[in-house]
Amino acid sequence: MIDPGHNGGNADHLEEINRLVNIGNGIKPCNTTGTATADGYTEAEFNWDVATLVVASLRERGAEVILTRPDNEGWGPCITERAATGNLNQADAVISIHADGGPDDGRGFHVIHPANVAGLTDDIYEASLRLARALHTAYLATSMPVADYIGEGGLSERDDLGGLNLSDVPAVFLEAGNMRSAADVVLLTDAEFQTDIADAVVAALIAFLAG
């Protein structure tokens, strides 16, 4: 399952997306608007653009792929529903595609994997870590450096993300770069680099599923 984070219409549906939902160890808004570049290229659109490339490549290789939203025009779905979709479909792997809204002097990508939370993510912790490492390794082949402002060497463990907490199948988030960094934005807005991102995601899934 490929999960393009946020949605293009979220900003016009703040009441709906700000509704609080249960993420297992706390409450969070149903969804958020995400970040954007200084020029107004939204993260939701970036996520959708990259997801489209990933899905096309995976399907070309014969993979069965599901998406958590059909386009970049609507709002939501809630993080709870996104996780439920992966669970219901017994996805072999879930990759959520995001770009970060970090400090403007911070650079780079990171891969987020779930912390080991008893009764919540203990069942997917090991496999998700393996998926995160596969994605991290594949992404090192791109020209984006590892994040220098968050995580450790491009990996970050989190226990506060509903999409990971509520997943019963291996799940990670890709933060493809920092949309607030002028240097990263040069890459993130480049069509060729977006193809490199998609190639990295596909390579990671192939490596992970080959197990």
Enumerate binding residues for Zn ion (CB under 5 A).
Answer: 5, 34, 98
Least distance CB 195 / Zn ion (angstroms): 21
Of 5 and 170, CB closest to Zn ion: 5
Note the Cα 12 to chain centre separation in Å: 22
Of 5 and 76, CB closest to Zn ion: 5
Report whether 123 contacts 168 (CB < 8 A): yes
Least distance CB 123 / Zn ion (angstroms): 25
Strands 110-114 and 171-178: antiparallel
Of 47 and 119, CB closest to Zn ion: 47
64 a catalytic residue: no
Sign of CA dihedral 200, 205, 210, 211: positive
Q: Which residues contact 71 (CB under 8 A, 6 or more apart)?
A: 8, 48
Q: Which of 43, 73, 175, 192 does the annotation list as catalytic?
A: 175
Least distance CB 171 / Zn ion (angstroms): 15
Residue number of the CB closest to Zn ion reads 98
Active site residues: 175
